Amino acid sequence: MEKQGFVKGDDDQVVGIQLIVLVHGFQGNSKDLKELRNNLAVSHPEALFLRSIANEGKTEGDIEEMGIRLAKEITEYIKDWGLEQTLGALSFIGHSLGGVIIRAALPYLKKYKDIMKTLVTLSSPHLGYMYASSTIINAGMWILTKLSKSKCLEQLSITDAEDFRQSFLYKLSLKEGMGWFKNILLVGSYQDTYVPVESARIGLMHKAIEDTK
Protein backbone atom coordinates (compact mmCIF):
# COMPACT_ATOMS: atom_id res chain seq x y z
CA MET A 1 0.00 0.00 0.00
CA GLU A 2 1.23 3.50 -0.85
CA LYS A 3 1.60 6.29 1.67
CA GLN A 4 -1.76 7.34 3.12
CA GLY A 5 -3.05 10.87 3.39
CA PHE A 6 -6.17 12.98 3.33
CA VAL A 7 -7.93 15.39 1.02
CA LYS A 8 -8.85 18.75 2.52
CA GLY A 9 -12.01 20.69 1.75
CA ASP A 10 -12.44 24.42 1.18
CA ASP A 11 -12.52 25.00 4.93
CA ASP A 12 -9.26 23.03 5.30
CA GLN A 13 -11.10 20.21 7.06
CA VAL A 14 -10.11 16.61 6.43
CA VAL A 15 -12.74 15.01 4.20
CA GLY A 16 -11.04 11.74 3.29
CA ILE A 17 -8.25 9.94 1.46
CA GLN A 18 -7.55 10.68 -2.20
CA LEU A 19 -6.88 7.72 -4.48
CA ILE A 20 -5.20 8.43 -7.84
CA VAL A 21 -5.51 5.62 -10.39
CA LEU A 22 -2.97 5.45 -13.24
CA VAL A 23 -3.87 3.41 -16.33
CA HIS A 24 -1.39 2.36 -19.03
CA GLY A 25 -2.01 2.31 -22.77
CA PHE A 26 -2.13 -0.20 -25.62
CA GLN A 27 0.26 -3.14 -25.07
CA GLY A 28 1.63 -1.35 -22.02
CA ASN A 29 1.97 -2.19 -18.35
CA SER A 30 1.96 -0.52 -14.96
CA LYS A 31 5.71 0.14 -15.09
CA ASP A 32 5.13 2.63 -17.92
CA LEU A 33 3.66 5.05 -15.39
CA LYS A 34 6.12 4.48 -12.54
CA GLU A 35 8.06 7.70 -13.14
CA LEU A 36 4.87 9.72 -13.42
CA ARG A 37 3.62 8.23 -10.18
CA ASN A 38 6.90 9.08 -8.43
CA ASN A 39 6.78 12.69 -9.63
CA LEU A 40 3.16 13.06 -8.54
CA ALA A 41 3.97 11.61 -5.13
CA VAL A 42 6.36 14.52 -4.57
CA SER A 43 3.68 17.13 -5.24
CA HIS A 44 0.85 15.06 -3.70
CA PRO A 45 2.43 13.25 -0.73
CA GLU A 46 -1.01 12.96 0.85
CA ALA A 47 -2.41 10.74 -1.91
CA LEU A 48 -2.63 7.01 -2.47
CA PHE A 49 -1.66 5.66 -5.90
CA LEU A 50 -2.90 2.61 -7.77
CA ARG A 51 -1.01 1.69 -10.95
CA SER A 52 -3.48 -0.55 -12.68
CA ILE A 53 -2.42 -4.06 -13.71
CA ALA A 54 -5.89 -5.37 -14.57
CA ASN A 55 -5.38 -5.15 -18.34
CA GLU A 56 -1.71 -6.02 -18.70
CA GLY A 57 -1.39 -8.34 -21.69
CA LYS A 58 -5.08 -7.92 -22.52
CA THR A 59 -5.26 -4.66 -24.48
CA GLU A 60 -5.91 -6.39 -27.82
CA GLY A 61 -9.43 -7.27 -26.68
CA ASP A 62 -12.72 -5.48 -26.12
CA ILE A 63 -12.38 -2.05 -24.48
CA GLU A 64 -15.68 -2.53 -22.66
CA GLU A 65 -14.26 -5.62 -20.97
CA MET A 66 -11.10 -3.70 -20.11
CA GLY A 67 -13.27 -1.09 -18.41
CA ILE A 68 -15.05 -3.75 -16.40
CA ARG A 69 -11.72 -5.24 -15.28
CA LEU A 70 -10.42 -1.81 -14.25
CA ALA A 71 -13.59 -1.02 -12.30
CA LYS A 72 -13.34 -4.37 -10.50
CA GLU A 73 -9.68 -3.76 -9.69
CA ILE A 74 -10.45 -0.35 -8.18
CA THR A 75 -13.43 -1.62 -6.21
CA GLU A 76 -11.42 -4.53 -4.80
CA TYR A 77 -8.50 -2.22 -3.93
CA ILE A 78 -10.81 0.08 -1.97
CA LYS A 79 -12.36 -2.90 -0.18
CA ASP A 80 -9.10 -4.73 0.52
CA TRP A 81 -7.53 -1.66 2.13
CA GLY A 82 -10.63 -0.70 4.09
CA LEU A 83 -11.17 2.63 2.34
CA GLU A 84 -14.96 2.45 2.00
CA GLN A 85 -15.55 4.93 4.81
CA THR A 86 -12.44 7.10 4.41
CA LEU A 87 -12.17 7.59 0.63
CA GLY A 88 -12.80 11.27 -0.06
CA ALA A 89 -11.64 11.69 -3.67
CA LEU A 90 -11.05 9.45 -6.67
CA SER A 91 -8.89 10.73 -9.54
CA PHE A 92 -7.59 9.14 -12.75
CA ILE A 93 -4.68 9.56 -15.14
CA GLY A 94 -4.77 7.58 -18.37
CA HIS A 95 -2.09 7.32 -21.04
CA SER A 96 -3.22 6.68 -24.64
CA LEU A 97 -5.75 3.81 -24.62
CA GLY A 98 -5.76 4.07 -20.83
CA GLY A 99 -7.89 7.21 -21.03
CA VAL A 100 -10.56 5.38 -23.02
CA ILE A 101 -10.42 2.40 -20.64
CA ILE A 102 -11.07 4.77 -17.74
CA ARG A 103 -14.15 6.16 -19.49
CA ALA A 104 -15.35 2.59 -20.12
CA ALA A 105 -14.93 1.83 -16.41
CA LEU A 106 -16.82 4.84 -15.08
CA PRO A 107 -20.39 3.48 -15.47
CA TYR A 108 -19.33 0.55 -13.27
CA LEU A 109 -18.01 2.94 -10.59
CA LYS A 110 -21.19 4.95 -10.25
CA LYS A 111 -21.31 4.48 -6.49
CA TYR A 112 -18.23 6.72 -6.27
CA LYS A 113 -19.57 9.47 -8.54
CA ASP A 114 -19.89 11.99 -5.70
CA ILE A 115 -16.16 11.79 -4.93
CA MET A 116 -14.82 11.86 -8.52
CA LYS A 117 -12.26 14.67 -8.50
CA THR A 118 -9.88 14.86 -11.48
CA LEU A 119 -9.58 13.11 -14.84
CA VAL A 120 -6.38 13.54 -16.87
CA THR A 121 -5.85 11.80 -20.21
CA LEU A 122 -2.59 11.93 -22.16
CA SER A 123 -2.93 11.50 -25.94
CA SER A 124 -5.97 9.28 -25.57
CA PRO A 125 -7.91 8.47 -28.77
CA HIS A 126 -11.31 9.51 -27.46
CA LEU A 127 -12.60 9.97 -31.02
CA GLY A 128 -10.57 7.13 -32.46
CA TYR A 129 -7.69 6.88 -34.94
CA MET A 130 -9.70 7.51 -38.11
CA TYR A 131 -8.04 10.77 -39.06
CA ALA A 132 -4.40 10.44 -38.01
CA SER A 133 -2.15 13.16 -39.46
CA SER A 134 0.02 10.63 -41.27
CA THR A 135 -1.28 8.55 -44.19
CA ILE A 136 1.44 6.03 -43.35
CA ILE A 137 0.05 5.68 -39.83
CA ASN A 138 -3.48 5.34 -41.20
CA ALA A 139 -2.36 2.60 -43.58
CA GLY A 140 -0.33 0.90 -40.86
CA MET A 141 -3.27 0.93 -38.45
CA TRP A 142 -5.53 -0.59 -41.13
CA ILE A 143 -3.04 -3.36 -41.87
CA LEU A 144 -2.36 -4.03 -38.18
CA THR A 145 -6.09 -4.21 -37.44
CA LYS A 146 -6.64 -6.73 -40.24
CA LEU A 147 -3.61 -8.88 -39.44
CA SER A 148 -3.93 -8.93 -35.66
CA LYS A 149 -7.74 -9.18 -35.62
CA SER A 150 -7.58 -6.89 -32.59
CA LYS A 151 -11.01 -5.98 -31.26
CA CYS A 152 -9.51 -2.91 -29.60
CA LEU A 153 -8.03 -1.55 -32.82
CA GLU A 154 -11.31 -2.20 -34.65
CA GLN A 155 -13.11 -0.15 -32.02
CA LEU A 156 -10.57 2.68 -32.15
CA SER A 157 -10.66 2.81 -35.95
CA ILE A 158 -14.49 2.72 -35.78
CA THR A 159 -14.67 -0.31 -38.06
CA ASP A 160 -16.41 -2.50 -35.48
CA ALA A 161 -19.85 -1.68 -36.91
CA GLU A 162 -21.23 -0.76 -40.33
CA ASP A 163 -23.41 1.95 -38.75
CA PHE A 164 -21.14 4.19 -36.69
CA ARG A 165 -24.01 4.69 -34.23
CA GLN A 166 -23.52 1.07 -33.27
CA SER A 167 -19.77 1.46 -32.82
CA PHE A 168 -18.19 1.20 -29.39
CA LEU A 169 -16.84 4.77 -29.31
CA TYR A 170 -20.21 6.25 -30.27
CA LYS A 171 -22.02 4.24 -27.60
CA LEU A 172 -19.33 5.20 -25.06
CA SER A 173 -19.93 8.88 -25.83
CA LEU A 174 -23.54 8.47 -24.68
CA LYS A 175 -22.67 6.93 -21.31
CA GLU A 176 -22.44 8.88 -18.09
CA GLY A 177 -19.26 9.43 -16.12
CA MET A 178 -17.35 12.39 -17.54
CA GLY A 179 -19.77 14.81 -15.93
CA TRP A 180 -18.98 13.55 -12.45
CA PHE A 181 -15.49 15.08 -12.35
CA LYS A 182 -14.72 18.50 -10.87
CA ASN A 183 -11.62 18.82 -13.07
CA ILE A 184 -10.91 17.42 -16.54
CA LEU A 185 -7.66 17.83 -18.47
CA LEU A 186 -7.40 16.31 -21.95
CA VAL A 187 -3.85 16.53 -23.31
CA GLY A 188 -3.00 16.16 -26.99
CA SER A 189 -0.07 17.02 -29.23
CA TYR A 190 0.21 18.03 -32.88
CA GLN A 191 3.51 16.14 -32.94
CA ASP A 192 1.75 12.89 -32.07
CA THR A 193 1.41 11.04 -35.38
CA TYR A 194 -0.77 8.32 -33.87
CA VAL A 195 -3.57 10.14 -32.05
CA PRO A 196 -5.01 13.23 -33.75
CA VAL A 197 -4.96 16.19 -31.37
CA GLU A 198 -8.72 16.71 -31.90
CA SER A 199 -9.33 13.11 -30.86
CA ALA A 200 -7.18 13.48 -27.75
CA ARG A 201 -8.95 16.69 -26.74
CA ILE A 202 -12.45 15.62 -27.88
CA GLY A 203 -12.49 18.55 -30.27
CA LEU A 204 -14.16 19.39 -33.56
CA MET A 205 -12.65 17.31 -36.37
CA HIS A 206 -13.05 19.07 -39.71
CA LYS A 207 -12.09 15.93 -41.62
CA ALA A 208 -14.96 14.10 -39.95
CA ILE A 209 -17.40 16.85 -40.88
CA GLU A 210 -16.32 16.64 -44.51
CA ASP A 211 -16.46 12.83 -44.56
CA THR A 212 -19.60 11.73 -46.42
CA LYS A 213 -19.52 8.37 -44.59
Q: Which CATH superfamily is domain 7-127+176-210 in?
A: Alpha/Beta hydrolase fold, catalytic domain (3.40.50.1820)
Arithmetic mean of pLDDT, 174-184: 97
pLDDT 10s digits, 11-47 = 544 478 999 999 999 999 999 999 999 999 999 999 9
Q: How confident is the model at residue 137 (pLDDT cuts 50, 70, 90)?
A: low
Asked if 138 and 144 touch (Cβ cutoff 8 Å), the reply is: no
Instruction: Say if residue 154's pLDDT is above 80.
Output: yes
Q: 59: which DSSP letter?
A: T
Domain ranges for the chain: 7-127+176-210
- The band of 132, judged by pLDDT with boundaries at 50, 70 and 90, is low
DSSP 82-140: T-TTTEEEEEEEEETHHHHHHHHHGGGGGGGGGGEEEEEEES--TT-STT-S-HHHHHH
